[in-house]
Amino acid sequence: MSNEPEVDYGPLAGLIGVWKGDKGLDVAPEPDGSENNPYHETITFTAIGDVTNAESQVLSVLHYRQIVQRKSDNDVFHDETGYWMWDPRTGTIMHSLVIPRAVCVLAGGKYDGAKNESGDVVLEVAANVDDSDWKIIQSSFMQENARTTSFRHRITVGNGKLSYSETTMLDIYGKVFEHTDDNELLLQ
């Protein structure tokens, strides 16, 4: 692993830093419907260098930590960590994440230089329990009672602003539930 300053983080470069945002909205499952949780959060992306796999694949890697607090009581109600990885040879972005519910995701997507009308970078990754490459791993309890079946994550980043939209599909309480999280953050 090398963290020489010349590592090229490609489309991930704009994520590096500490971000804070207080416009978060979480829609989460409840036995009798759903709950809406307005939140604020801090996401810290740290450049950790590049890594070589099988002496041929070179990935540029960021580590991140996301701490989410309910606005109503400041309780941390979501704590997530993982890596964002960029493979310039194939134009692939990979996002690994773990949450302390015994659920892990490896999501992936292609980056083809996509930018929005403001010139911001748009990153999109997805995973599905049935996908051959980008998968979800979860405990047997979660598989039986609160199964994550798919995950989509879209980040737009540029000019000191980051916004994201995340959809996690769940099989829970005998129904299919669309668990969503969105926020807008500023670079500190």
- Rank residues 44 and 51 by Cβ distance to ligand HEM and give the closer one: 44
Among positions 21-60, residues that touch ligand HEM (CB under 6 A) are 26, 28-29, 37, 39
Q: Which of 78, 82, 87, 162 binds ligand HEM (CB under 6 A)?
A: 78
- Rank residues 58 and 70 by Cβ distance to ligand HEM and give the closer one: 70
Cα 62 to Cα 118: distance, rounded to the nearest angstrom: 24
AA identity, residue 152: R
Cα 50 to Cα 47: distance, rounded to the nearest angstrom: 9
- Rank residues 50 and 108 by Cβ distance to ligand HEM and give the closer one: 108
Residues facing residue 161 across a β-bridge = 158, 186
Q: Which two tokens stand for residue 109?
A: 């997507």
Q: Which of 98, 22, 100 is nearest to 63 (CA)?
A: 98
Residue 67 makes contact with ligand HEM by CB under 6 A: no
Residue 107 makes contact with ligand HEM by CB under 6 A: no
Q: How far is the CB of 109 from ligand HEM (least distance, A)?
A: 15
Residue 185 makes contact with ligand HEM by CB under 6 A: no
Q: Answer whether 41's CB lies under 8 Å from 67's CB.
A: yes
Q: Answer whether 26's CB lies under 8 Å from 41's CB.
A: no
**H/E element, 142:** helix 140-145
Among positions 122-161, residues that touch ligand HEM (CB under 6 A) are 142, 146, 148, 151
Binding site for ligand HEM (CB under 6 A): 26, 28-29, 37, 39, 68, 77-78, 99, 101, 103, 105, 142, 146, 148, 151, 166, 168, 170, 172, 179, 181
